[in-house]
Structure 1
Amino acid sequence: MTSFFRAALAALTALTTTAALADEPRFTLETEIGAVWQERNKVQNPNDNEGDRFELTDIAGSGPWASARINANWNISGPHNLRVVLAPLYYEERGTLDEDVRFDGEQFTGGTPIEASYTFNSWRVGYSYQFYDKNDWTLWVGGTAKIRDAEIELKQDGTRASDDDVGFVPLLYLAGEYRINDRWTFNFDFDGLAGGPGRAFDVGLKLNYEVSDQWRIGAGYRLLEGGADTDDVYNFAWFNTAMVSAQWRF
């Protein structure tokens, strides 16, 4: 009889644990929207004595412009997670250059109205591993495969020049969450790489409120900084974003 009760208790414990695990959300889908400001955006193409280095901020100013991002996470099993990030960035503005500029083989006149557009779309797939979960902290580490889709275009009185680039960038991923209490959490996320001809940093800081078991809202700040210095092009930019977010867990 004692053996029977022990077996029954073990079976009940296993079933309870399985049910609890089944109730845990496997997927999260988060949308960030906000306003982005351009701190700096220095450009030269070609990156030699045939091109001139100038600031896109001279034409476009500092913003703000609307921004949006989608973050999706799939908890595969236990501490293993897959992430997908869709982060487009685009603006188009009209202004003037302080002086004449040579860009992508074309000449643009200073003091004359000129149109500039900037695209920096980031499409990412990543893996993360939860390596710490105690003392109100949860921490992840992993890697990200990033596809960079970028373009800079200038247009003035029928003259047009464009430099576009699509490339692959591997990034280190770090993230953490601190549980303030049952309703409030603070979290950070980082995708970044430095070395070689360039660097890329994407850092987010956010304060979240648990509306329910399925819904979470938040507000915070995101930094985008980086660029490349190659034989073909020089471009380093810094963007600051104030954003709000909504997350659905299912």
Structure 2
Amino acid sequence: MSTNAQTFVNLESGAFFTGMNDIRNGSNGTLFSMKNDFQTPVSPFLRLRAGYLVNGKNHFSFLFAPLKIVETGTIEKDILFDGKNFKANIPIEAIYKFNSYRFTYNERIISKDDFKFGLGLSLKIRDAGVSLKNRELLSENFSIGFAPLINLLVNWDISQKMGVDFFVEGIAASKGRAIDLSSSGRYSFTKNLQGNIGYRLLEGGANGTNRYNFIQLHFIFASLNYSFNKTNKDP
């Protein structure tokens, strides 16, 4: 009996832009938008996933996905943020951070030569928050949180070299949700090296008594995936 294991590394990069980023901090805080009240730039990003695929069915991986948006300017309204009043028409810097770390397990329920479908669970750790700063005040609310996610994977090989990949991790509840989905086209350069070009949506947020934040971020990405094959034979 032999066990086929693939250690893999996936590097993804590209550019993202903001579709929505609405924020309120404090029960009586001001609701403002980092999309509409500031000039939001298109920004580069980088994601790294490394993992292990056993017998083509059991996928274990770790994802590191840092994300940071820095915006500066002046806005035409006061912002009450965490009990501090940031006056209008004074230059202000806003920082939005959402660093994500995920441990993922996915089992290929259907595993054919040209089609694969898998379901699994992920543990998400997020280091996220917002800070505002002007020449008079500084307020920041960065924190670390945990959330379980359900994941779903679809791989369809159109030909020997080309295929389509879909992957989503997410969860929804009455007070919030978290969704990270990607759809891409794949090309196999060699048996061990594949490249993808596609689209990713990061969407969700939370509606709490003291904090409110919902985002919608759009990503155009290219990625490279390299796998190291290893076969272990049991005695």
Q: TM-score range by the shorter chain?
A: over 0.9
Aligned to 1:33: 13
Report the equivalent of 1:84.
62
Q: Does 1:205 align with 2:205?
A: no
Pick aligned residue for 1:44 from 9, 14, 24: 24
**2:104 is equivalent to residue 112 of structure 1:** no
The runs of 4+ residues in structure 1 deviating greater than 3 Å are: none
Q: Secondary structure at the residue paired with 2:220?
A: strand
Cα-to-partner distance string for 1:188-221 (whole Å, 9 max, x where unaligned):
1000000132100000111111000111111111
- What is the CA RMSD across the aligned residues, in angstroms? 1.6
- The structural deviation recorded for 1:165 is 2.0
- Structure label with greater radius of gyration: 1
Q: Distance in 1 between matches of 2:112 and 2:225?
A: 23
Q: Match of 2:117?
A: 139
CA distance in 2, matches of 1:247, 1:80: 17
Q: Does 1:175 align with 2:149?
A: no
Q: Which residue of 1 is the match for residue 99 of structure 2?
A: 121
Identity %: 30
Contact 1:148/1:167 (8 A) holds in 2: yes
Counterpart mapping for 1:163-242 below 5 A: 163-242=141-220
More strand by share: 2
TM-score by length of 2: 0.92
1:178/1:187 contact within 8 Å kept: yes
For the 8 Å contact 1:37–1:63, the answer to whether it is kept is yes
SS of the residue 1:221 aligns to: strand
More helix by share: 1
CA positional deviation for 1:77: 4.7
- The total of aligned residue pairs comes to 228
Query: Corresponding residue for 1:62?
Result: 40
- Residues 43, 235 of structure 1: 8 Å contact kept: yes
Q: Secondary structure, in 3 states, of the residue corresponding to 2:132? A: strand
Q: Tell me the residue number matched to 1:73.
A: 51
TM-score by length of 1: 0.87
Unaligned runs of 5+ in 2: 229-235
Q: Which runs of 5+ in 1 are unaligned?
A: 1-13
